[in-house]
Structure 1
Amino acid sequence: MLIDAHQHFWNPDRGDYGWLSGPFAPIRRIFTPDDLSPELAANGVNATVLVQTWSSVDETRAFLTLASATPFIAGVVGWVDLTAANVADVIAELKAGQGGTYLVGIRHQVHDEPDADWLLRPDVRRGLQAVADHGLVYDLLLKPRELPAALKTVQAFPHLRFVIDHIAKPDIRGHGFSAWAELMAPFAAERGHVWCKLSGMVTEADWENWTLVDLQPYIDEVLRLFGPSRVLYGSDWPVCRVAGGYTKWLAALKQAIAARTAIEHAQILGGSAQELYRLSLSDIAK
């Protein structure tokens, strides 16, 4: 079972997509399941996790409804305002609504917050407790700047499952391995409840010229720190389209882990995602 643990859909005319400009302009258009389905079929991908794209509960509701009607979507990582006093009630309402059983996680664009310590705010921590109480995962969307606060956060919530998206977006193009690896190293002690996604790497590299040589040290370090049972594959589609596309990234990842055992392959390419998000894969045949 091959699971893509990180993909998106969007309509740039119905949300906050100011970043879809400049070099990202080629992907400033509507993306739907009909666009992704051929990519999944061509690469033998069985199921996906659909991830929020902007700060909108309405988007989360729409994604849950879409999941209930789309055979390959096994889970949805949505958005709620963690700082809201009623955040627990909002999560409960989402779970009780249409497609609510597909809600597997919550995410916020932490790396866009002016405050590098945003995760440490008391109101945010109250929201994280609500995520934990509802049995959901919290996706950490970070850059290296936010890793110290993220480490304190995962240490403070040992009962909450976390996943670091896009390996925390190191500066692969600028050869930022050492600084990133130093900040990531302490998370190894927390891997009992922290996972890491091998996703979003190609857009942190040289879009036009990246090769596996550029990515391999990062992939190897993530696997060393977290182990295959806590590492999972994600495409970051359609963002990956600006840097080689779906097939090129997945082929590179498979080559990067070619020397690993069949069991480790199965974990990285599907098992870890299923365990992290507690996916009910029988639903992909709905």
Structure 2
Amino acid sequence: MKLETLDLQIIDTHTHFYDPARPQGVPWPGQDDDFLYRRVMPEDYKSLAANQGVKGTVVVEASRWFEDNQWILDLAEADPFLVGFVGNIDIDSDDFESNLNHLAENPLFRGIRLGGGALGDVADQSFISRLDQLASLDLELDLLIDSSLLLSVNTISEKIPNLRIMINHIGHVPIDGQPPDKAWVEG
């Protein structure tokens, strides 16, 4: 069957939207990033992606500010092109469970994203219990990590086999024309 005859639903599974001109600004990207530090909103992305057949996107929140999760959900309420949302919640916060449950009330909310520094001690039962809450709500864990943490991800998957885990940016493997490093390949 020719590609032209297929009715494909292309969903971009990882976009970020932000506006540094908001009163509180943004924690990411930094003002020193000449390329990324600019307004990036759904209409900007749609003007590029729709021509490529993209029908929607899942937004991954890069901000560590909890209120920015709601800002994205408000954008999604106004724009059906935003078909899913991966939030950013401080997993070590005393408010983690209530924040998770609050976001989980929205059907667009699909999980949380943790950076490598927030991955935690996989031997810590409290940390594992919080990740298990994701699985019990049928949510996913997005990880922004490098190859040094792949063994920790394996441990998490063994301890919580029903937790869906997404590794963002292919584990930060360098794409430089050289074979990936051994740790990335073995991970």
* TM-score over 0.5 (shorter chain): yes
> Does 1:103 pair with 2:116?
no
Distance in 2 of aligned mates of 1:7 and 1:18: 13
Q: What CA distance in whole angstroms lies between the structure 1 residues aligned with 2:99 and 2:10?
A: 32
Q: Sort the Cα spacing of 1:28 and 1:135 in 2 relative to 1 into closer, same or farther, 3 A.
A: same
Q: 1:148 aligns with which of 141, 147, 151?
A: 151
Instruction: Give the structure 2 partner of residue 93 of structure 1.
Output: 102
1:153-190, Cα deviation, whole Å (9 max, x unpaired): 11111011111111101122273514144333xxxxxx
Measured against aligned partners, the alpha-carbon deviations of 1:80-125 in whole angstroms (never above 9, x if no partner) come to 12123442221112233xxx11101110222xx2x8x625144332
After superposition, the Cα gap between the structure-2 partners of 1:15 and 1:123, relative to the gap in structure 1 and judged at 3 Å, is farther
Aligned length: 175
- The letter for the 2-side match of 1:12 is P
- 1:271 equivalent in structure 2: none
Secondary structure of residue in 2 paired with 1:74:
strand
Distance 1:174 1:85 in 2: 44
C-alpha distance 183-12 of structure 1, shift in aligned 2 (>3 A): farther
Unaligned runs of 5+ in 2: 1-8
Q: 1: distance between equivalents of 2:178 and 2:63?
A: 29
The match for 2:18 is 10
Instruction: Among all aligned residue pairs of Structure 1 and Structure 2, give the percentage whose two residues are the same amino acid.
Output: 25
CA distance in 1, matches of 2:28, 2:94: 27
Alignment of 1:133-144 (within 5 A): 133-144=136-147
- The match for 1:58 is 67
Query: Is 2:178 the partner of 1:175?
Result: yes
User: Residues of 1 paired with 2:29 and 2:51: CA distance?
Assistant: 31
Out of 106, 110, 135, which is 1:132 matched to?
135
Q: Distance in 1 between matches of 2:153 and 2:59?
A: 23
The two structures have a TM-score, normalised by structure 1, of 0.56
Paired residues of 2:86 and 2:111 also in contact (CA < 8 A): yes
* Match of residue 55 from structure 2: 46
The answer on whether the counterparts of 1:138 and 1:161 sit within 8 Å (CA) in structure 2 is yes
Change over 3 Å in CA distance of 1:172–1:71 after alignment to 2:
same
Matched with 1:118 is 120
Q: 1:108-156 CA distances to partner (integer Å, 9 max, x unpaired)?
A: 222xx2x8x6251443322212211221111111111111211111111
Structure 1: where are the runs of 5+ without partners?
185-286
**Structure with greater helix share of residues:** 1
Does the 8 A contact of 1:55 with 1:79 survive in 2?
yes
Q: Which has the higher strand share?
A: 2
Q: TM-score, normalised by structure 2?
A: 0.84
2:42 matches 1:33: yes
Q: Deviations over 1:59-82 (max 9, x none)?
A: 111111111111211100001121
CA contact (8 A) 1:79 1:106 kept: yes
8 Å contact from structure 2 (residues 14, 58) kept in 1 = yes
Contact 1:140 1:162 in 2 (8 A): yes
Tell me the equivalent position of 2:160: 157
- Verify the 8 A CA contact 2:73 2:85 in the aligned structure 1: yes
| Contact persistence 1:83–1:126 (CA under 8 A) | no
RMSD between aligned residues: 2.1
Runs of 4+ in 1 over 3 A off after TM superposition: none
CA contact (8 A) 1:82 1:126 kept: no
User: Does structure 1 retain, via aligned residues, the 8 Å contact 2:171–2:184?
Assistant: no
